[in-house]
Amino acid sequence: MSQERRVQLLEPLVAQRIAAGEVIDRPASVVRELIDNSLDASAATISIIIEEGGIHRIKVIDDGTGIHPEDLRIIGHSHATSKVRTLSDFDTLETLGFRGEALYSIAAGAKVTISSTPQGTLGASITIHGDTFGPVEPGGPTKGTIVEVADLFAEIPARRLFLKRPSSEAMMVKQAIIEKALSFPHVSFTMSHNGKESLFLPATSLKGRVIQVLKNNKDVVSSQLLEMHEEGEHFSISVISTGADTYRTDRKYIQIFVNNRIVDEYSFVQAVTYGYDPYLPGGAFPYCYVYLTVDPEFVDFNIHPAKREVKLRNRAQIHHQLVLLIQYNLQFNHFSRARKTTQNEDIPTLFTPSEEFLTEQPRVSWQHRSQQDSISDVHPQSQYRFLTPDESERKETWFETAKHLFQEEPKTKEPCRQEPDDFMYHGQIFSLFLLVEKGNSLYLVDQHAAHERILYDEMRQYDGFQPLMIPIEFEVERTVDEFLQTHSDMYASLGIHLERRQDLLWAIEATIPHYREMEKELIEGIQSFSSGTIEELHKMLFATAACRKAIKEGDPIDTVQAVSLLRKVFALERPTCPHGREFVIELTKEDLYRSVGRLL
């Protein structure tokens, strides 16, 4: 065997760069990590200054607690952290960082200068580049910490190749800041790009922050935002969202935060969708920010630093309560609007319950907003909110009330629809099958295959292109660019209208609504498809859509969701999935009686 094939330990810098690649892949990921550090240091103000999309320079300035000059010596080494000491610290983790590898990973691909002045010191600074550590020198900012990252990936050309144009990178940085800012409304954030201010988010309330972020969105008027709050066992839910009068045709603005981190928890996005389902037209989705605070013992973020995933032990319970909370609030909002409108009064922000309503519904408790426990304590905009159920008895009762209102009689989109369903849904088994009694049979319906089929039909039947208000630009590799130039009609026939903007730059101009809420996946699909037939393209696009949208095996499903899906399934002539497989099992009453030796 040749010498090169023998096992060797990697050079430390090579190992460092490989590990870093998983965490730091572009300026936005650097900014995300640096902001996390500032937030963990209790900063009240964070400024982010970038040049050339952050590729040339990123500077994050905070007024947090700072780093002790002696600690600067070990910072930038792998696993250098002040946030965890022992394994048991993970059970009570309250910081965003805990791995002690962000600065180490950033330094693997750039020159990092950290200057910091904790209270009571004169401050110090250090420059780290790969595995080279400069001396700790005296002198730092007047307060807090400045971290400067210069020439990202200058020495890793392969990684630079994956960077987009500076303007695209700057957009991603801005998005990363907005995501952080949405969880930390009491912190001020500013961003400037090439000397020009591009974001200014002064400290505010949670609702105020959502308003700041959506302020350029003409669809959303601040007075229409609803606030909802609910305490569960080991978790609490706060929701800031639009009412049933404002919506969009994609799920892009349904965002989920768990313990101050944005996560891609699709089942909660689905919960929001189902909560709104009875109140919005088909294909319409709200602007909805869901903030979950979950007991750290039930949460595990320790999956992958770059992925926005979280493991939750009480996911099904949260899902269930989220659907009910939203439906309950929308029901009141709806009721209130109807009442007020008939009285020709202004529509209020949140439903103010009338005397007779309170006596009619004695189990629901409301109280006037008090200052200390509000979720928007800086600028309280609404007058009423749910009573925070410190008395568990009250919480029980509202939850029970909600259950009666929404679980036993699921609302449908057509409020005047009177015909009752001719089936009875009995629940989900093995986290996959929906159990249904209909006529003289018992049916087991595979929820994933059923949902896939329904989506497939909907996507095929819909042929109306809808132009995107802002076309979405994306870059492609040379092979894909050439393929698209000769095959964009193939995409058009499958509901996606593409246009070439420049060399290697394309834009989605219009789509059928089914693709709207998954632009990212769609673009990834287009970027990776450089040859193939229309059937293959159709398969790829459908797989992308179904994979993103279809309820999976193991996904919790609410009665409302299940019944709505089952109605569509029973309306099908032949229930087979898009791949031709049957997904409904029928057991007749006769079979069942016979199998226990009875006669009907």
Does position 126 interact with ligand ADP (CB under 6 A)? The reply is: no
**Is 100 near ligand ADP (CB under 6 A)?**
yes
Q: Applying CB under 6 A, does 83 fall inside the site for ligand ADP? A: yes
* Structure token pair of residue 373: 């426990």
Contacts of residue 10, defined as CB under 8 A and 6 or more positions apart, other chains included, come to 18
Nearer to ligand ADP, 145 or 544 (CB): 145
DSSP 159-224: HHTT---HHHHHHHHHHHHHHHHHH-TTSEEEEEETTEEEEEE-S--HHHHHHHHHTT-TT--GGG
Output the smallest distance, CB 42 to ligand ADP, in A. Answer: 9
Q: Is residue 124 a contact point for ligand ADP (CB under 6 A)?
A: no
Residue 77 in contact with ligand ADP, rule: CB under 6 A? no
Is residue 562 helix, strand or coil?
Answer: helix
82 near ligand ADP, rule: CB under 6 A: yes
Is residue 62 near ligand ADP by the rule CB under 6 A? yes
> In the bound complex, what is the minimum distance in angstroms from residue 34's beta carbon to Mg ion?
8
User: Would you count residue 333 as binding ligand ADP (CB under 6 A)?
Assistant: no
Rule CB under 6 A: say whether 102 interacts with ligand ADP.
yes
What is the C-alpha to C-alpha distance for residues 513 and 522, in angstroms, rounded to an integer?
13
The nearest distance, CB 459 to ligand ADP, in angstroms, is: 43
In terms of CB distance, is 39 or 557 closer to Mg ion?
Answer: 39
Distance of alpha carbon 384 from alpha carbon 389, whole angstroms: 14
Please give the Cα distance from 113 to 329 (Å, whole number): 50
CB of 309 to ligand ADP, least distance (A): 17
Query: Which residue among 102, 258, 280, 526 contacts Mg ion (CB under 5 A)?
Result: 102
- The span from the CA of 567 to the CA of 562, in Å, is 9
User: Which residue stretch of 21-29, 58-66, 214-222, 280-288 sits at the interface with ligand ADP (rule: CB under 6 A)?
Assistant: 58-66
97 contacts Mg ion (rule: CB under 5 A): yes
Give the full edge-to-edge strand order of the sheet including 466-475.
466-475, 505-511, 496-502
> Which residues lie below 8 Å from residue 396, measured CB to CB, with a gap of 6+?
none
**The length of the chain, given as a count of residues:** 600
Q: Is 561 in the site for ligand ADP (CB under 6 A)?
A: no
Query: How many CB atoms within 10 Å of residue 440?
Result: 10
Which one among 98, 279, 366, 443 touches ligand ADP, defined by CB under 6 A? 98
- Among the listed ranges 76-84, 119-127, 318-326, 429-437, the one in contact with ligand ADP (CB under 6 A) is 76-84
| Closer residue to ligand ADP, CB minimum distance, 38 or 559 | 38
SS3 69: coil
73 belongs to the binding site for ligand ADP (CB under 6 A): no
Q: Which amino acid is located at 594 in the chain? A: R
Contacts of 348 (CB under 8 A, 6+ apart): 336, 340, 383
Q: Which residue in 103, 114, 110 sits closest to 159, CA to CA?
A: 110
Q: Which of 64/275 has CB closer to ligand ADP?
A: 64
Residue 145 in contact with ligand ADP, rule: CB under 6 A = yes
Region of 74-82, 367-375, 391-399, 400-408 interacting with ligand ADP (CB under 6 A): 74-82
Residue 65 binds Mg ion (CB under 5 A): no
Count Cβ atoms within 10 A of the Cβ of residue 316 and give its class: 0-12 exposed, 13-18 middle, 19 or more buried: middle
Binding site partner of 127, from ligand ADP, Mg ion, none, Cβ cut-off 5-8 A by kind: none
Q: Which does 64 bind (CB under 5 to 8 A by kind): ligand ADP, Mg ion, none?
A: ligand ADP
Q: Can residue 97 be called a binding residue for ligand ADP (CB under 6 A)? A: yes
Can you give the binding site for ligand ADP, defined by CB under 6 A? 33, 37-38, 41, 62, 64-67, 75, 80-83, 97-104, 145
